[in-house]
Structure 1
Amino acid sequence: MTQLLIIEDNFICQQIYRSLLSDDYQLTLAETAQQALETLTNQFFNCILLDLGLPDQRGEEILPLIRANPLHKDTTIIVISAHVDESLGQQCLALGANHIYIKPILPTMLRQVVENAMVH
């Protein structure tokens, strides 16, 4: 089954992601940047959903750390955050994100975004 890491501290968003994606993907949840980086140390994921507004570190700060790990140099990273303007979006893409989406994201769009990312 496709492995998906969700890096998200908002409980409601976690529940939405879980309800929409758990039937088709093996989900792992990290609520902080530290939890995410520890999880990524020795576990492979096909796709990562990354929120930028994490409690311990900004999501854009961990993008290069994720890409530096040989396990995840080619992993699809989808930034889904309410805290993105054009400049920050460009910065995230330059740091290794594959896609940027601004919350709120419609449930049908979320499924489609993840499915499309897995195909490409």
Structure 2
Amino acid sequence: MYKILAIDDEPINLQIIGACLSNDYQLFMAKDGNRGMQLALKNKPDLILLDIVMPDLNGYEVAKMLKDNPQTRKIPIIFASGKTKSQIQTDVEHVGYISKPYNKAELLTLIANTLS
């Protein structure tokens, strides 16, 4: 079973992700970037679903830390945000983007395509 780490500061978003993915994937969830980094290092997920706008460490900073670490650099990252795709400005390697609020079918398809 694939392991997915979801990092989002909004509990409702983590609940939605859990409802969408918990039957098909092993989920780990973090409410902030620091905890997300800890879980990524400990659990070595197959994919990270990463919110962009968070207090303290934002998604861009977390993604850069993940890509700079040899233990996590190859884990694919899907950015999630209420912003539009054209508003996302990053030089951090990522494999996809999904907008919030989440659409279950879109989320499942993007994850399945990324992991295949």
Normalized against structure 1, the TM-score is what?
0.87
Runs of 4 or more, structure 1, over 4 Å off, are none
Look up the SS of the partner of 1:95 in the other structure: coil
**Correspondence 1:1-120 to 2 at 5 A:** 1-84=1-84, 86-87=86-87, 89-91=88-90, 94-119=91-116
**Segment drifting more, 48-57 vs 99-108:** 99-108
Q: Say how many residue pairs are matched.
A: 116
In 2, Cα distance between equivalents of 1:84 and 1:96? 18
Q: Point out the structure with the larger helix share.
A: 1
Q: Gaps spanning 5+ residues in structure 2: where? A: none
- CA deviation string 1:32-85 (max 9, x = no partner): 011011222332110000001112221111111001222222111000111355
In structure 1, runs of 5+ residues without a counterpart are: none
| TM-score under structure 2 length normalisation | 0.90
How far did 1:103 drift? 1.5
SS of residue matched to 1:66: helix
